Amino acid sequence: QETNLLYVGDIAKIRTIVMNSTEKTVNEFIGSGLFGSSGDNGAAINARFRVILDFVVDENGKQIFICDALNHKIRFVNMTTGI
């Protein structure tokens, strides 16, 4: 698990970004920025959410679980595959 990664929920753009303090980069990771409910079993970058209320990364840093509040869903992404 890399401790130099910071995951940030961007509420205004309905996405999650990843900041890498070692490489000094900011990357979009989850969410297309479009309002809706789609993208399950597809690339996380193309997923649509209504409101990302919260998220958590598992203890191994392998999966991220996302609370998509207005869609009443808990969604997850495999960090290795991006799906």
pLDDT tens track for 22-53: 999 998 889 999 999 999 999 999 999 999 99
| pLDDT confidence bin for 5, thresholds 50/70/90 | confident
Cβ atoms within 10 Å, residue 72: 9
- pLDDT at residue 2 is higher than 70: no
Strand 73-78 to 63-68 pairing: antiparallel
In this predicted structure, what is the pLDDT of residue 4?
85
**Encoding tokens for residue 9?**
């929920």
